[in-house]
Amino acid sequence: MQEIHHYIDGTESKGTSGRFADIYNPATGEVQAKVALATKDELDAAVEKAAAAQVGWAATNPQRRARVMMKFAALINENMDVLAELVSREHGKTLPDARGDVQRGLEVVEVCMGAPNMLKGEYMNDGGPGIDLYSMRQPLGVVAGITPFNFPAMIPLWKMAPALASGNAMILKPSERCPSTSMKLAELLKEAGLPDGVLQVVNGDKEVVDAILDNETVQAVGFVGSTPIAQYIYGRAATNGKRAQCFGGAKNHMIIMPDADMDKAADALVGAGFGAAGERCMAISVAVPVGDKTADALIERLIPRIEALKVGPYTAGDDVDFGPVITAQAKARINGLVDSGVEQGAKLVIDGRNFSLQGYEDGFFVGPSLFDNVTPDMDIYKEEIFGPVLSQVRAKSYDEALDLIMKNNYGNGTSIFTADGDTARDFANKVNVGMVGINFPIPVPLSYFTFGGWKKSAFGDLNQYGPDAFRFYTKTKTVTARWFSGIKEGGEFAFKAMD
Ligand code: NAD
């Protein structure tokens, strides 16, 4: 049985706790590896070494740090297939989707090649008589990244690239379900020239997360995961005086206006609802057609598209649309929520509960489900299902559809499909959601913008990647300087004898 340990001081380092978590092959249900779970002492030792390594790294000029990012980006490209395979092996997503996972992380590394430009401060000449002001952006020291299972490459890269390019050392605690990609990325960073100890991958569960939150040397915590854990981490990190940005779960709605291109809307919904088995924080899980005619036209188009979806293991080839969900517990929870939808009166148009794949009967596969006539009081509407389940909530008007989204607790992403620019513009201006798509189903911003939700989808005040990331991972110091008259006025310029 393969054992995965930690990556400390530039090498794989054996865990000492004796505690392990199982890593499943989600397609077969078998345990394929075990990952060591670190103790508080192991975490504290890793932080101490990171703090020592950070001093030299912070003193390395920003352009040299950016060159490490350049080499890192080249190595990620060279190792694209290896990384994608690691993602798929532990997560279960298809290989094309896994390549996208790596690619969207790589794009943040590319932006971090421009870190020197992002780290420049401000300067004011003659802010007062003979007084100059300037600000500097300095690294925080040791920071931590705590990441979820669903993007094993992208989210660790979103954390590590800006943190390291800004001159920090990082403790990365990846999901215990999918740790191998982070271990490989740490190896590639070493090959790219990152000094040992500047990135420490410490595997583990709640014990190590709590140790991070209580460690006095750790200055900031960047978290991505479910909302209850995001809120918990934000609270404990803040109480301990740390900077924290904690991104949580989602319930993303797409409004379909009567004038929308229905075929395009249906295609977009199928991809955004069922891609990666619905295990994306930007998945669209609620379709909100405006008017019954629109709703009927949409359902009519969704049914054949959903019935044609091919569910299978990533090893079955690139025509598989989505793979299994992450664990047996996730599968049971999703099926239980579908049960609750039926009990609470929603119309189950396509039932994915009894899906079974020959040869993979013990795998964590869930077929696609489609609900119509869902209402906001139902559990399938209130809960983030995080599975291949699409709910249709019928709205009578645009205002009613908008109001539904405004009242939802989550605010990660949303989308509108319409042919009318005025409606689209009104929607983008008014909606209380962080990322908005117009005729675009999964509006994950490109890496030179920033990523972040509103309401219960994020705790903290700066987004991930882009300019916000450099603000999050640096402190501002502002200097007000005055020089009293010096040699210019009072100096002696004549060549005089020393008497
Ligand atoms: P999760 O909250 O279970 O785990 C995330 C991380 O927190 C993992 O590293 C895990 O080890 C740790 N953790 C879990 N329970 C903990 C506890 N009790 N105390 C301390 N640490 C704990 O999330 P997940 O299941 O890995 O990921 C799926 C969730 O992440 C979904 O809700 C999804 O919407 C969300 N997500 C959000 C974004 C975003 O940017 N908003 C992006 C991706 C995923």
270-287 pLDDT, tens per residue?
Answer: 999 999 999 999 999 999
* Distance (Å) from CA 175 to ligand 1 centroid: 8
| Mutation pick for ligand 1 pocket among 173, 224, 251, 282 (CB with most ligand atoms within 8 Å) | 224
Q: How far is CA 243 from CA 75, 213, 236, 295, in A?
A: 31, 11, 11, 45
Task: Name 174's bridge partners.
Answer: none
pLDDT of residue 299: 98
CB of 148 sitting under 6 A from ligand 1 = yes
pTM given for the model: 0.96
Residue of 271, 276, 370, 361 lying closest to 326 (CA atoms)? 276
Instruction: Report the pLDDT averaged over residues 38-42.
Output: 98
Q: Which atom belonging to ligand 1 lies closest to the Cα atom of 225?
A: 30
Q: How far apart are CA 381 and CA 322, in angstroms?
A: 22
Q: Is 281 one of the catalytic residues?
A: yes
Residue 318 has pLDDT above 90, yes or no: no
Q: Which atom belonging to ligand 1 lies closest to the Cα atom of 281?
A: 34
Split at pLDDT 50, 70, 90, the class of 494 is confident
Determine how many CB atoms are found less than 10 A away from the CB of residue 32: 15
CB of 150 sitting under 6 A from ligand 1 = yes
CATH superfamily membership of 252-438 = Aldehyde Dehydrogenase; Chain A, domain 2 (3.40.309.10)
52-102 pLDDT, tens per residue?
Answer: 999 999 999 999 999 999 999 999 999 999 999 999 999 999 999 999 999
pLDDT of residue 485: 72
* Distance (Å) from CA 398 to ligand 1 centroid: 33
Annotation: CATH topology of 2-248+457-480:
Aldehyde Dehydrogenase; Chain A, domain 1 (3.40.605)
ipTM score assigned to the predicted complex: 0.99
Instruction: Report the pLDDT averaged over residues 426-450.
Output: 97
* Distance (Å) from CA 474 to ligand 1 centroid: 25
CB of 252 sitting under 6 A from ligand 1 = no
Instruction: Report the pLDDT averaged over residues 394-411.
Output: 98
Q: Write the burial class of residue 82 (CB in 10 Å: 0-12 exposed, 13-18 middle, 19+ buried).
A: middle
Domain residue limits, the chain: 2-248+457-480, 252-438
pLDDT of residue 194: 98
